[in-house]
Structure formats: C-alpha cells, structure tokens
Amino acid sequence: MNGPARAERAIRDVVVVGGGSAGWIAACRLAAAARRRGDDVTVTLVESAQVPTVGVGEGTWPTMRNTLAKIGISETNFVRRCDAAFKQGARFVGWADGGADDGYYHPLNPPAGATEIDLAPHWQSGGADFAHWVDYQAALCDAGLAPKAITTPEYAGQANYAYHLDAGKFATLLREHATGTLGVTHVVGDIVRVAMADGGDIAGVVLADGRTIAGDLFVDCSGFAALLIGGVYDVPFRSCADVMFADRAIAMQVPYADPDDPVTCHTVATAQDAGWIWDIGLWTRRGIGHVYSSAHQSDDAAEAALRRYIGPAADGLSARLLRIDAGHRARFWQNNCVAVGLSAGFVEPLEASALMLIEASMDAIADRLPRTRAAIDTAARQFNAAFTHHWARIVEFLKLHYAITRRTDTAFWRDHADPATWPDGLAERLALWRDHPPAAIDFDHAREVFGWPSYQYVLHGMNYPTRYAPRRAAPTATQAQRWIARTDRLRAEALQRLPRHRDLLRAVREHGLQAV
C-alpha cells in the first residue's frame, strides 16, 4: 500500500492482545464507545489459555465508577459478581516515625471548599489531624460506615468512593459483558509470530493453529511479556528501581473468621522493616500482601512478617510471590500499537494506580479513536507525551511517602529518605512546600493524576514541617470558619445516617441499589 493510500486507510478493526483486567477493560471501552458513536468498528480480543493473569490488583480509584457506567455494567451487578466493597481512601500506619500513634488518612474526598479556599494555612493552630479537620470522610472510615445508603442511586454517593474488588472475578464479568452485550469477538490461542505491513505497522498476529487475526490498531495488554510493544518494537523499558526500591510482593487471601466481621471501607497500608503490608476488605475475604525490597529483606523474612501481621488466620494458607520490575516504557504508542496495563509499566501499588492507568489510557484511546492511519501518528504523540508525564508524577508522588519519613530504624527507610534517590524536582517542591501549601500552580498539567489535595493529605498526615503564614484576616478566616462549620455538620449527619459498611453490602446483594 503506497503512502497516500496507507495514510487514508480507515481504522475499522481493533485487536486487543491479552485478557485480564487490562484487556477486558480495553475491549469493553472500545466496543462501548464505538457503539455510542455509531462507528463501524470491530473489536477482537486474543488471549492465551496458557497465561494466568496477575490478578492481585484489588484497589481502584473513583474513576472506576465512570468506567463501569460508560461500558454499561450496573453497580449492583458489579458489587455482587466481584465480591466488591466500597473504598473511601487509604490509611497509612507507621510511615511518619513508626511510633504508637503514627497513622493518617488519604481520603478520597478533597478538603472542604477546595475550589474556593485553601484551608491548610488555617489548620496550623493545631487540634485535630489534617484529614479529620478539613473533611468528614476520615470519620466515616473510623466508624466503618459506607459512603452511601441503599436508596442512593447507582454510582452516586454522599462521600466520594472507589472500590475494592476480586480481580479475577472482575475480569470474568468484563469478559461476559464484552462478548455477550458489546459484541466483542473472543479468540483463544497462542501467538507464535506477528505479521508486519509496509511502513513498520503490525498487520496481524498469527496463532499456533495457523489463524491470522488482522487489525488496523493493536492494543498490547499482554502483561509483563509485552509481546508487541517489547517483543515486536523493542521499545526500551525505563527502570525506576533507583527511586522505588520495592521489587517483590507476597499476597494471601484471608477468609473472615465470622461472616459478620466488619468490612474495612479503606485500604490499610502498614509500614514494615523493608516495605509495607496492604490490607483490603472484600465481601468474603481480605486481600493482604507484603510489598518489600529484596535488597533489604529476604523472601522468607518477608513472608514471615506477613504471617505475623495476619496472625493465626494465616496458618495453612498459601502465599503467592510476585516480582516487581518498577518502571515503564520509553514510549507507550509505537506505530499502530499502544501498550496498556502491565505491558506499559508497573510500580508498587501504594496508591492503587495500576487500574487507574488502564482506565486513563482507554479514555484517551476509546474516546478519541483515530479515524484513519494518518491520525494515529498525532494520537501517538499526544498519548506518549501525556503518559510520560503521568508516570513521572506517579513515581514522584509514591516516593513522597518515603522521602519525608522520619524513620531511621532500618536501612530501607534511611535509603528512601536520602535525597540522592529522589526524582528530579521533588526536593525543589518540598522546599517550596515548607512555606506554601501544595497548589495547582506547582504542577505542569491542568489534569494531574495526583492533584494538590493528595499532596496536602500526605504532607500534613506525616507532619511535614511547614511555616505557612497565618491568615487570620477577614474575609479569609471567616470563610474558612464557615467551611469547617459545614464540615462539622456534614460529619455529624453522616455518622448518624449512613449504614455500616457490611450492612450496605448485604443490602446490595439482597435488594440492589436504585438503578439510574
């Protein structure tokens, strides 16, 4: 095909390589978006029956509510099928100094009045910790309450929320919805080679049984194998192991001792000698895992620490060891191939960014699917620029949790606090934030994956030393008082009206949420 003809070739057949959460989210988003626009686009997903999914990504962002709504899955069905629970943020235990009272929340609600006023300078007088002072969601987490009631419509809430979910069951639900409702073609087979077209594009993937699955655009969701972005195009992998030290995770699934045990409505991240332990509550079990650095602790010692954390409930349970190669591709979109999910990159799941990055990638691809081959080049440039920036900010934000620790008890924490291991720009921003609260102007993009409220929750949760100028003059002080009074009122009302988290989950399973 000559140059002009190739450039004007319509993008009609999209092939997703790989299943799991990444592949099936990609297929659902592409098919649903094409159906909504009335485009003549087919979506085919090819996966091997021999490759198991990683399947431990159980935490999401509030963005998942939009994703599920866009692809047409009801919240009631999702909660029932995926053993899902509602997530209202994360609590970090032992990260600041390791003391007995060391713990803070990063809730999903922004600080009160965030679009009108910055409350951080008014908090300097002391009193309640920052998260409890500027918003009411931390109190809901303390009380084990849900972010909504059974009468609240699907995907709406009195407080902002995301989900905890069973990743394996989630992929199954997505697959059934994609093939049964959205018209996605599912092909099971092992890819043995890739057929190339003129100009360096991928023309199709060839399976072991001789079939060729042709396409105009290929989405590489093949996980760590990175069959296309790495295997075909050899796009370099940029390691960030010099910044983020964790390279192992040990995961366990822990049943509840009693079916009526409380379901925690936030992720708990508890600091350890050489890493941290996540603790996630689902309807039927807890997902618990230890993320750690093998340079600072052996696998056996890490598993022993995990079992000590779990206690007698760990007896007889098997543990799954995962290796983390922290980093991302130098480019994510090459020719007519775009990497999504683990094939694009991975870093420790400290702020549950893995599924969010899949969603963000598919928002950029599905909602602005190139119409012609010529348009792919522009889309690729925009995509690569945006996600190179997103990855840099994610690494910086995760490092922030370690960089400002006051822990010196083990080499792991001392090494993380060494400015020589910090990403470019973090030291500069930390110096600025001693005198000025994090604000939107401190970041390069209007749409950041982690905005200034998240930085404030971490900085003030860990008691980062600040010298904010007091702002006692009216009308600023009066405005701040109004917002805090409103927060106090909302907190009291929510604590009185919202149900216990497990009670809401039970009600959803028995009666369902109010359909939109």
Put the strands of the sheet holding 285-292 in their side by side order.
Answer: 103-107, 89-93, 267-272, 275-281, 285-292, 248-255, 320-323
Residues whose CB is less than 8 angstroms from the CB of residue 433 and which lie 6 or more positions away in sequence, other chains included: 442, 455, 459, 464, 466
Give the span between the Cα atoms of 62 and 109, in whole angstroms.
10
Quickly count: other Cβ atoms within 10 Å of residue 357's Cβ: 25
Give the span between the Cα atoms of 457 and 453, in whole angstroms.
6
Tokens of 180: 């049964």
Rg (CA), the chain: 23
CA angle 262–268–274, rounded 5-degree value:
140
Q: Do residues 223 and 322 make contact, with C-beta atoms less than 8 angstroms apart? A: no
- Alpha-carbon distances, residue 232 vs 7, 15, 196, 217, 369 (angstroms): 22, 15, 9, 14, 22
Which of 70, 87, 148, 399 is catalytic? The answer is 87
Residues whose CB is less than 8 angstroms from the CB of residue 17 and which lie 6 or more positions away in sequence, other chains included: 23, 45, 46, 47, 191, 205, 218, 219, 220, 221, 222, 227, 228
87 is catalytic: yes
* Secondary structure (H, E, C), 183-250: CCEEEECCEEEEEECHHHCEEEEEECCCCEEECCEEEECCHHHCCCCCCCCCCCEEECCCCCCCCEEE
Residue with tokens 């999914």: 53
Residue with tokens 């007995």: 100
For residue 433, the SS3 value is coil
Active-site positions? 87
